[in-house]
């Protein structure tokens, strides 16, 4: 369902309108939190004001918990969500440089803009510095490129990197944050010499902390099964479908489509790559059953108007692929009935042009069709089209659409 814009539920033309709206919320909260003061921000490093830590980690834990539950319930499809890619050394180096920038400048880019807007002259100078820094990066880009684009580990998750489950990591992070809130409050009180009477007048944060921890503990005990999609089908329905007729497409139909060079079918070869390279149907692409759910094939399967036909030598690898795809909620997927074996036996063994009139009309037209198809295949009528079709199909295949490019 969500994210709403990449999934096409909200018109993408409204994308920028929502950016503006979210930005207003972002700026409002930062200013309200007091992030327009460098002195206040830098306080986090000297113990006199931990507002940065409080706002930052509360926001992080809130959003993380929300995303965790939304994705578990199948409301938020993580395949469409931008997950910051991990370029190992670049990420660490960037953080170290920004750490220096933070201590020296007292702002970060977001808070710097907020402070400049409310009239802080030092923040305006900070932003000018930021422009210069970005220009410097651009100027020496070639020298930086190897570290900037090196050690790419993918869009990986920290709990995978640590070998933890998502739920355990989230719970640990929340508990650490709550402990950090408590300890830093004590440090701040000591440094500012706050009297015990004043401390007593503060609101208690026991209840919200408790709620978050309980919610994450519940998450720990939820069954592992994560649904990637709210439309995900149930196994019994799938079994019924795979035994019925609706999941299959006939060899005749596919031959006809190939012969006429139409492209409302996407032919997907589910065999191993070696077999695919030796021979496959014209225009087919090679996706094994275990690769079906990879993110890069999503745009291909999301072309709902085109029928996706899985085929192998027989039906079994195609059936596996079909089950995987249908389970994930992909529509318009089919299995080539009987696979390549049936197709060829029909084309090359049973396709002698019949000279007898003993056949009924239906059989005769069938036989004629196969005969013509055979001629077509043998005369290489496909070869010209093949290049052409491959190119048309390649297009969605290679553009690994990550729906949004992110960064800050």
Partner 1 sequence: MSTIRNNYMNPYLAGFLLGMVLLASYVIAGRGLGASGAARSVVVTTVASAAPEYAEKSPFYAEYFTEVNPMGSWLVFLVVGLILGAFLSGAMANRLRFATDRGPNITVRTRMFFALGGGLLFGLGAQFGRGCTSGSALSGMAVLSTGGMLTMMAIFGTGYLIAYFFRKLWI
**Region 74-103 residues binding partner 1, contact defined as CB under 8 A:** 75-76, 78, 80-88, 90-103
Helix, coil or strand: residue 310: strand
Stretch 136-155 residues interacting with partner 1 (CB under 8 A):
136-139, 141-142, 144-145, 147-148, 153, 155
Considering the complex, state which of residue 216 and residue 319 has its C-beta at the smaller distance from partner 1.
216
The b-or-e profile of 39-56 (16+ CB within 10 A means b, else e) is ebbbbbeeeebbbbbbbb
Considering the complex, state which of residue 4 and residue 238 has its C-beta at the smaller distance from partner 1.
4
What minimum distance in Å lies between the beta carbon of 403 and partner 1?
6
187 contributes a contact to partner 1 by CB under 8 A: no
What minimum distance in Å lies between the beta carbon of 193 and partner 1?
12
CA–CA separation, 192 vs 198, rounded Å?
12
Considering the complex, state which of residue 160 and residue 388 has its C-beta at the smaller distance from partner 1.
160
Stretch 6-65 residues interacting with partner 1 (CB under 8 A):
6, 10, 15-16, 18-34, 36-39, 42-46, 48, 51, 54-64
- Binding segment toward partner 1, per CB under 8 A, in 123-131, 260-268, 335-343, 387-395: 123-131
345 contributes a contact to partner 1 by CB under 8 A: no
Considering the complex, state which of residue 49 and residue 257 has its C-beta at the smaller distance from partner 1.
49
The b-or-e profile of 210-234 (16+ CB within 10 A means b, else e) is eebeeebeebeeeeeeebeeeeeee
CA distances from 262 to 34, 269, 276, 343, 346 (A): 62, 18, 21, 18, 21
Considering the complex, state which of residue 132 and residue 179 has its C-beta at the smaller distance from partner 1.
132
Query: Which of 72, 74, 127, 390 touches partner 1 by CB under 8 A?
Result: 127
Considering the complex, state which of residue 42 and residue 247 has its C-beta at the smaller distance from partner 1.
42
CA distances from 390 to 267, 284, 382 (A): 11, 7, 12
CA–CA separation, 289 vs 227, rounded Å?
18
Considering the complex, state which of residue 18 and residue 348 has its C-beta at the smaller distance from partner 1.
18
Take residue 270 and report the two structure tokens written for it: 């589910």
What minimum distance in Å lies between the beta carbon of 170 and partner 1?
7
Q: Identify the H or E element spanning 269.
A: strand 265-269
What minimum distance in Å lies between the beta carbon of 183 and partner 1?
14
Take residue 343 and report the two structure tokens written for it: 């197709």
Helix, coil or strand: residue 309: strand
Stretch 288-327 residues interacting with partner 1 (CB under 8 A):
none
CA–CA separation, 41 vs 335, rounded Å?
60
In the block, residue with structure tokens 């596996």: 320
Take residue 304 and report the two structure tokens written for it: 């709902």
117 contributes a contact to partner 1 by CB under 8 A: yes
CA–CA separation, 174 vs 184, rounded Å?
15
What minimum distance in Å lies between the beta carbon of 174 and partner 1?
11
Which residue, among 86, 88, 95, 91, has the nearest Cα to 156 in the 3D structure? 86
70 contributes a contact to partner 1 by CB under 8 A: yes
374 contributes a contact to partner 1 by CB under 8 A: no
């Amino acid at each position: 369902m969500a994210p709403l814009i990449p999934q096409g539920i909200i018109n993408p033309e409204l994308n920028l309108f929502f950016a503006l709206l979210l930005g207003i919320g972002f700026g409002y909260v930062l200013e309200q939190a007091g992030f327009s003061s460098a002195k206040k921000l830098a306080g986090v490093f000297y113990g006199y004001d931990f507002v940065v830590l409080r706002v930052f980690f509360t926001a992080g834990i809130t959003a993380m918990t929300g995303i965790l539950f939304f994705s578990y319930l199948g409301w938020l499809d993580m395949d469409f969500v931008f997950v910051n890619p991990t370029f190992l050394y670049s990420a660490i180096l960037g953080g170290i440089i920004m750490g220096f920038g933070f201590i020296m400048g007292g702002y970060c880019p977001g808070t710097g803009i907020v402070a400049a807007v409310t009239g802080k002259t030092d923040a305006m100078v900070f932003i000018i510095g930021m422009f210069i820094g970005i220009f410097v990066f651009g100027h020496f880009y070639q020298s930086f490129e190897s570290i900037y684009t090196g050690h790419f580990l993918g869009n990986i998750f920290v709990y995978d990197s640590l070998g933890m489950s998502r739920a355990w990591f989230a719970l640990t992070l929340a508990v650490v944050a709550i402990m950090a809130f408590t300890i830093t409050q004590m440090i701040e009180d000591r440094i500012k010499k706050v009297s015990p009477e004043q401390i007593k007048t503060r609101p208690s944060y026991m209840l919200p902390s408790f709620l978050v921890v309980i919610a994450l503990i519940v998450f720990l005990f939820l069954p592992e099964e994560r649904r990637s999609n709210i439309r995900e089908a149930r196994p019994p329905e799938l079994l019924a479908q795979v035994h019925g007729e609706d999941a299959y497409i006939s060899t005749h139909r596919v031959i006809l489509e190939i012969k006429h060079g139409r492209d409302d079918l996407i032919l997907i070869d589910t065999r191993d790559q070696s077999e695919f390279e030796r021979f496959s149907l014209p225009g087919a692409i090679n996706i094994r059953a275990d690769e079906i759910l990879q993110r890069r094939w999503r745009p291909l399967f999301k072309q709902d108007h085109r029928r996706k036909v899985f085929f192998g030598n027989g039906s079994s690898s195609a059936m596996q692929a079909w089950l995987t795809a249908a389970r994930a909620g992909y529509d318009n997927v089919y299995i080539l009935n009987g696979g390549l074996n049936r197709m060829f036996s029909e084309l090359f063994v049973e396709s002698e042009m019949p000279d007898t009139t003993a056949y009924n009309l239906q059989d005769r037209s069938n036989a004629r069709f196969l005969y013509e198809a055979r001629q077509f295949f043998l005369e290489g009528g496909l070869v010209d089209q093949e290049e052409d079709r491959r190119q048309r199909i390649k297009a969605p295949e290679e553009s690994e659409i990550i729906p949004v490019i992110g960064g800050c």
